[in-house]
Structure 1
Amino acid sequence: MNKDRFLYTCDSSKSEVRRWKMGEKGEGKLVAGGYGKGNHPNQFDSCHYIFVDEEQSVYISDSGNDRVMKWRKGATEGIVVAGGNGRGNNLNQLDFAQGIVIDELGRIYITDFSNHRIMRWIEGEQKGEIIVGGNGEGNLYVLDWNNQRVQRFDWIL
């Protein structure tokens, strides 16, 4: 839900994102996708995570197409803002994009799931940069500020 009290949902089976105003009933408004599963600018293949910025642009992790799409408010198709160059581990590629967050400067942070890394992309750039991971599976370190400690959690396979 964003600050304007719109609730956004991603329906992977329909390859679409819809929004509802708080209290609204019915099907909601289609804001992205809706043209079936695929890799065209108006389609997704397994959308999983969404992020809505201050201008109501919707960012979608299009996991099956290894890309992140941005749909401006009112757009009928999206633009690729990260990945979209086939599945892989090069700096211009993603492998099963998952969680996404956009910071106040418009930088895009992506959980690049199968590459075990967090990427940062700037819209318009041809490649991103690795900010965490990228060396295979590893351990999780958590800063526990109030207890003044760092905890390490090992992956259990």
Structure 2
Amino acid sequence: GQQLNQLNNLAGIFIDKNKTIFIADYGNHRIVKWKYNAKEGQIIAGGNGQGNRMDQLNGPTDVIVDQKNHSIIIADYGNARVIQWMNQSQQILIKNIGCFGLAMDKHGFLYVSDWQSNEVSRWKMGEYNNEVVIVAGGNRQGNQLNQFNYLNFIFVDEDQSVYVSDQNNNRVMKWRKDAKEGTIVAGGNGKGRNLNQLSEPQGVIVDDFGQIYVADYKNHRVMRWCEGKEEGELVVGGNGKGNKSDQLNNPVGLFFDDEGNVYVADHYNHRIAKFEIIL
């Protein structure tokens, strides 16, 4: 639904230090902020119908908060632009880009996954007209180690390695800084539900131990992979598609809070589920 206590096919999520959750409410064309333990959210971007005006969004897929300047950066998927909202004023940062996922590293660089160009680009904040740096992909669509086939969500770690959910190749790739190709760190064994397989992976996040958590979309589960392992382990869901507390219905975005709890954007259940993870 579209009330303030409802969501509609949510996608990416971001959680700040105060456990406030920022949600790309894809089907409602808005970004909603839910404070910790709130009963409803507040609209902080969009919410003015579907469209391409500056104050509108069209199917936003991801959102991050630049905590230095308190701005919100949005992958405005349907409008093929990355747009920044600050105090109700908007600025288009990057236009004509098949943006899907966003990430920011500790140096303040912005990373954008581009499903049309099958690449991840890195941008210096405030210098969006300058030369863009391709940090992963950019070698047309395919299934080689230097290619992607419809990438979506991304994660950047402390070493500026980029983790990419490579949806139609059913794998997660890791590109180290300045690498010419990636390594498969999850999936890559065809589409399926075995522990060594993924089915259209979406959200990807990595904990301080280097363990990779993947929203395994079509398998309605969240998997955890240790780099170098042949298979992952099930951490959430895996009990079929559904809306019970131990089930998911097409999980998409993932995020950690400061305590290491995992939040899952549960797409067709129109909810966010929080799980304490036992390491």
TM-score (norm 2): 0.50
- Give 3-state SS (helix, strand or coil) of 2:215's partner: strand
Gap change, CA 1:120 and 1:54, over 3 Å in 2: same
Q: CA deviation at 1:140?
A: 5.6
1:133 aligned onto 2:237:
yes
1:95 aligns with 2:199: yes
Letter in 1 for 2:198: L
Check if 1:42 corresponds to 2:153.
no
Say yes or no: does 1:63 pair with 2:167: yes
Cα distance in 2, alignment partners of residues 78 and 41 from structure 1: 5
Specify whether residues 55 and 155 from structure 1 end up closer, same or farther in structure 2 by C-alpha distance, changes over 3 A only. Answer: closer
Which stretches of structure 1, 4 residues or longer, exceed 4 Å deviation after superposition?
Answer: 153-156
- What are structure 1's unaligned runs of at least 5 residues? 142-152
Q: Does residue 113 of structure 2 align to residue 10 of structure 1?
A: yes
Quote the sequence identity (%). Answer: 57
- Which runs of structure 2 are paired with 1:14-33 in the superposition (5 Å)? 14-24=117-127, 25-33=129-137
> In structure 2, do the counterparts of structure 1 residues 155 and 29 end up closer, same or farther at CA, with 3 Å as the change threshold?
closer
Does 2:210 match 1:106? yes
Q: 2 CA distance for matches of 1:27 and 1:48?
A: 23
User: Number of aligned pairs?
Assistant: 145
Instruction: Compare 1-10 and 107-116 and name the one that shifted more.
Output: 1-10
RMSD (CA atoms): 1.7
* Deviation sequence 1:22-61 (CA, Å, 0-9, x none): 1122341000000000000000001000000000000000
Q: Following TM superposition, by how much is the alpha carbon of 1:105 offset from its aligned partner in structure 2, in angstroms?
A: 0.3
Return the offset for 1:3: 1.6
**Alpha-carbon separation, structure 2, partners of 1:155 and 1:50:** 23
Report the counterpart of residue 150 of structure 1 in structure 2.
none
2:174 counterpart of 1:52: no
Deviates further, 26-35 or 123-132: 26-35
Distance 1:103 1:126 in 2: 19
The CA deviation at 1:138 is: 2.0
TM-score relative to the length of structure 1: 0.88
Distance 1:41 1:132 in 2: 28
Q: In the alignment, which of 83, 86, 108 is matched to residue 190 of structure 2?
A: 86
For the residue of structure 2 that corresponds to 1:64, the secondary structure is helix
Q: Is residue 77 from structure 1 mapped to residue 178 from structure 2 by the alignment?
A: no
Distance in 2 (alpha carbons) for counterparts of 1:140 and 1:18:
38
CA distance in 1, matches of 2:131, 2:215: 30
Q: Distance in 2 between matches of 1:140 and 1:74?
A: 43
Report the secondary structure of 1:44's partner residue: coil
1:55-109 CA distance string (max 9 Å, x none): 0000000001000000000000000000000000000000000000000000000
Tell me, in whole angstroms, the C-alpha distance in 1 between the residues paired with 2:145 and 2:198: 17
Structure 2: unaligned runs, 5 residues or longer: 1-103, 246-265, 271-279
3-state secondary structure, aligned to 1:114: helix
Distance 1:155 1:63 in 2: 21
